[in-house]
Amino acid sequence: MGLRAIAASSVFSAVAVAVAVGGCAQPRSTAAPSPTQSGAPKAAKRPFAGTVNVPHRRPVRGEEMTPEIAQRARQILDGSRDAGFGTEVTFEIDGQAYIGRIEEHYHEPGGPRKPWGRHRGVTVYHAD
């Protein structure tokens, strides 16, 4: 298993999630114009907290994620409830250095991964 991180209830792979916003279908004659139809610019997506101005690092992904790394990420999340987004905790497992970073994560509502929506999590990166 990988991490874009570990959420408050379980461990997850590094995942980029696109959020699709839908609306009710209305007859054309009564439907209000969409922002793009009216010429108004679309609002920029709000970045996930703790992910802005971050040095580029390679996240731990897929088979690189071991139970020990996942457990350490969970400990960071549980032990840092008062720490702000962007807080980094370095640790080492089997001679390999890692960085656990507290970030805001997202899981699609109704999907298999919980908690749904935006939530606090830990992304684990390779420190080298």
| CA dist., res. 57 & res. 69, Å (int) | 16
Q: Where are the domains of the chain?
A: 1-14+55-128
Length of the chain: 128
The pTM score is 0.58
Question: Which single residue is written with the structure tokens 């640790």?
Answer: 91
pLDDT for 95 equals 95
Question: Which single residue is written with the structure tokens 């996942």?
Answer: 70
DSSP secondary structure code for residue 104 in this structure: E
Beta carbons within 8 Å of 115's beta carbon, 6+ residues apart: 7, 8, 9, 107
> Any alpha helices (H) in the chain, and if so which ranges?
67-79
pLDDT in tens, the chain (128 residues): 333 333 333 333 333 222 222 333 333 344 444 444 556 566 566 666 666 666 788 999 999 999 999 999 999 999 988 899 999 999 999 999 999 999 999 999 999 989 999 999 999 999 98
pLDDT for 88 equals 93
